[in-house]
Amino acid sequence: MTVTVETGPWRLDPTASTVALRHRTMWGLVTVKGAFAEIGGRGEVRPDGSADGTVTLGAASLDTGNTRRDTHLRSADFFDAGNHPEITFAVRAADRLDADGVRVTGSLTVRGVTEPQTLTARLLPADADALTLETEFDVDRARFGMGWNLLGMVRGLTTVTASLRFTRAGG
């Protein structure tokens, strides 16, 4: 069954949305997990069914459950949150692939570095006033100037998992 989405403006509901990271460290022996507490965003669905929008994360809001690690992640070695307080995913196009699949094309900006990013999301059943997109994709942190790697402990890609709940704006 194809999920129908109403046209017009949509606003991200930060209380019903999550963006989390997973990365293997210690030579692949330990998985570090964390989630962003500050999430914002908006979108626009056009009459032809295509969409655009923006999702913004507070770089300093990443919580891994370890204060010392979180402080290091906010530093210039990683997110450099003091100079680059936001991580942004700007959606240039979101097009239906099938009944519940959406190809999202845009750009990811971390630490002031912008790189193209394409991902596939799943559109969960929606009503006239709310919809949820879920996705999981990998990011190479080195593309964004995060090359810190003490003794080669931090290798590989970072997995981003997001569940983004949008509600109708205005209306």
Q: pLDDT tens for residues 72-88?
A: 889 988 889 999 999 99
Tell me the domains of the chain and their CATH numbers. 8-168 (2.40.128.110)
The DSSP secondary structure of 47-92, one letter per residue, reads TTS-EEEEEEEEGGGEE-S-HHHHHHHHSTTTT-TTT--EEEEEEE
DSSP 8-class letter at 130: E
Residue 82's pLDDT is 96
- CB-CB contact of 136 with 161 (8 Å): yes
The pTM of this model reads 0.87
pLDDT digits over 67-125, tens only?
A: 998 998 899 888 899 999 999 999 999 888 887 888 999 999 999 999 999 999 999 87
Amino acid at 2: T
pLDDT, residue 150, reads 47
Instruction: Choose among 27, 36, 40, 109: nearest CA to 70.
Output: 36
Q: How far apart are CA 94 and CA 119, in angstroms?
A: 10
